[in-house]
Structure 1
Amino acid sequence: MADDRVSRRDMFGRLGLSRIRERFDAEMPDALAAQAREAAKRPSEPAWAAWDVPPPEDSERFTRAAAEALVEACGVKADERVLDWGCGQGEVALAAARRGAQVTAVDFAAGPLERAWDLAEEEHLEVEWLEQDGLDLLLGNSWFDRSLSGFGVIWSSDVPAAVRELFRVTRPGGTVGFTTWSTRGFLGEVLRVVREHDLLPAGSSPAAWGWDEGLRQDFAPYAATIGVETRDLELRLEDDDALWDLVAQSAAPAARGLAELPAEDRERVEGEIRALVHDSGVVTARFLEVVAEVPAV
């Protein structure tokens, strides 16, 4: 994909944005293009480093299955323009690219983007990877047919702004779809524990979209129709390492907050989370799959 002399950070930043500029030239105003050039010069925010963690195999298997289900539910087809917002290691982007879609994937953390790049190269899939702020996307209005997010938008520091951006860049009659943890599943319970101990960063509220009615209320101003499906996937946690790997991958900011606690407090919170795991080691990862249609003009 790139000359060996060009760094991957360059590809995600300066060169990645220039390639997008070429593709979106007719759609992107000069002022927006200037913002894109400036954004390419900015380093990653240190606060975003919470997501720069290697993907545990068990949770990777789960998120891959959830991504495939989301892409199927949103009806992604070959040659459609698809956005993966908060792409992480690229499960949704890769699932869409396997269907022949023209995929752009955006995330603010360089580490997951590099892993996503590797996975795309292994499968010989073409994806535009961009390192930028999802709350202020440097992309044109109504460009994408489908704008998706696999457990990404729920961690935004400003969820309403993230929702506005997803709908802004999606064409009339297009689809916005994402997955979010249910408050009733295992990871919803984990989030309840960490929230009770104030371990989530300011502005982050993933539980707000963990129930059907809350989702419908938040999306009503933007969507013509909203569909919410509950899905379950079972995971077997063989040991403590598997448990903490799952938490780190699925709720990295919470895992980071847990790690920063004094030892005694950390042990107490870890004990509460361990108590959520059945003796068999099997947990049910319940999540909501949301598909919203953008109003036609």
Structure 2
Amino acid sequence: MNRTTYSGDAVADVVLRPESTSDPIKQKHRAVWASGDYAAVAREVIPALGRVLVDACDVRAGEQVLDVAAGSGNAAIPAALRGADVVASDLTPELLDVGRAEASRRGLELSWEQGDCEDLPYDDASFDVVMSSVGVMFAPHHQAAADELVRVARPGGRIALASWTPEGFVGRMFATMRPFVPAPPPGAQPPPLWGDPEHVTALLGDRVTDLAWQRRELPVDRFAGADEFVAFFKRHYGPTVMAFRGLADRPEQAAALERALLDLARGHHRGRPTPGWEYLLLTARRA
């Protein structure tokens, strides 16, 4: 595949790459994240997470930054607000459209480019910062995605990732949904593994230095209780939307999934005025 060299010239258009969506697995992933309204999740539930990531990798004015699996720009827009030249790359152009509109509203120029995080369309060593806010973790083939994160970072460049942990609320939500959704294709790995520091350390290997990680909790005060959380995620969060859509002709199973999610959320909210969602914050430099 021909790769492009990122020059730092920000453009406002979404660059579409048809080869990114020719793989049936990638088509399915795109459909999942195009369903519902993930931008509402990023805007209303986890808006602080992108800013945390930008702070962690110390984005500076004039640097060339790649936000991988950027969605609607939860991290890309805060990076651009610091004066960086930012490329927001995602498999789902519908999310990029939302991000582009929000960036325009703020008077910001970013490059919004459709791309597969397992086969990024950029030359080696193109970016000062490569980051992903609960995005690259959903790539089905973890090693391929990790290889790309390292490849496009310049020597000495920073890599920063925020990923939901297996033990945290979102990781447990995926475990709760697992019996109700089709089995993943052969070779696909569970997204919350990116929240396991040993797993990510092994993926990156000796190609990085100064690797550091910490588990943190993101305060989530959007929901008054479990019922509001489940209703919101049934409408807006792609994986949950698709799980219920797949059970449309099995109402008993759909009801069982809803009860299971309510039980999970009630247990997590119990006694906690502001429940936290645990994530792994990991930073490194390309060797």
Provide the rounded CA distance (Å) in 2 between the counterparts of 1:137 and 1:94.
20
| Distance 1:120-1:200 versus aligned 2 partners, 3 A rule | farther
The residue that corresponds to 1:10 in the other structure is none
Contact conserved, 2:39 with 2:72, CA < 8 A, in 1?
no
Q: Which amino acid aligns with 2:199?
A: G
Provide the rounded CA distance (Å) in 1 between the counterparts of 2:158 and 2:52.
15
Q: Which amino acid aligns with 2:224?
A: E
Q: What whole-Å deviation, never above 9, does each CA across 1:203-250 have from its counterpart, x for those lacking one?
A: 141121222322223222321121112111222323634334347656
Secondary structure of the residue aligned to 1:118 is: helix
The residue that corresponds to 2:200 in the other structure is 215
Provide the rounded CA distance (Å) in 2 between the counterparts of 1:284 and 1:24.
37
The residue that corresponds to 1:86 in the other structure is 69
Contact conserved, 1:44 with 1:109, CA < 8 A, in 2?
no
Listed as ranges, the matches of 1:43-62 within 5 Å are: 44=21, 46-47=27-28, 48-52=30-34, 53-55=36-38, 57=40, 59-62=42-45
CA shift, 1:146, in A, is: 0.4
Q: CA RMSD in A?
A: 2.8
| Distance 1:93-1:260 versus aligned 2 partners, 3 A rule | same
Contact conserved, 1:79 with 1:101, CA < 8 A, in 2?
yes
| Distance 1:60-1:183 versus aligned 2 partners, 3 A rule | same
Contact conserved, 2:46 with 2:220, CA < 8 A, in 1?
no
User: Is 1:245 matched up with 2:229?
Assistant: no
More RCO (CA 8 Å, sep 6+): 2
The residue that corresponds to 2:191 in the other structure is 206
Contact conserved, 1:84 with 1:148, CA < 8 A, in 2?
yes
The residue that corresponds to 1:13 in the other structure is none
| Distance 1:21-1:175 versus aligned 2 partners, 3 A rule | closer
The residue that corresponds to 1:259 in the other structure is 245
Residue of structure 1 aligned with 2:176, choices 182, 193, 205: 193
Q: Which amino acid aligns with 2:243?
A: G
Q: What whole-Å deviation, never above 9, does each CA across 1:123-155 have from its counterpart, x for those lacking one?
A: 111100101222211111101000011111110
Provide the rounded CA distance (Å) in 2 between the counterparts of 1:112 and 1:166.
21
Q: Which amino acid aligns with 2:63?
A: E
Q: Which amino acid aligns with 2:193?
A: A
Provide the rounded CA distance (Å) in 2 between the counterparts of 1:189 and 1:220.
27
Unaligned runs of 5+ in 1: 1-16, 26-36
Provide the rounded CA distance (Å) in 2 between the counterparts of 1:265 and 1:135.
34
Q: Which amino acid aligns with 1:243?
A: V
Provide the rounded CA distance (Å) in 2 between the counterparts of 1:282 and 1:247.
21
Provide the rounded CA distance (Å) in 1 between the counterparts of 2:229 and 2:113.
30
Q: TM-score, normalised by structure 2?
A: 0.82
Identical residues among aligned pairs (%): 26
CA shift, 1:170, in A, is: 0.4
Contact conserved, 1:200 with 1:254, CA < 8 A, in 2?
no
| Distance 1:58-1:23 versus aligned 2 partners, 3 A rule | closer
| Distance 1:223-1:79 versus aligned 2 partners, 3 A rule | same
Unaligned runs of 5+ in 2: 10-14
- Would you identify which runs of 4 or more consecutive aligned residues in structure 1 move more than 6 Å? none
The residue that corresponds to 1:108 in the other structure is 91
Contact conserved, 1:182 with 1:288, CA < 8 A, in 2?
yes
User: Is 1:286 matched up with 2:278?
Assistant: yes
Secondary structure of the residue aligned to 1:176 is: strand
CA shift, 1:197, in A, is: 4.0
CA shift, 1:43, in A, is: 8.1
Provide the rounded CA distance (Å) in 1 between the counterparts of 2:140 and 2:108.
31
Q: TM-score, normalised by structure 1?
A: 0.80
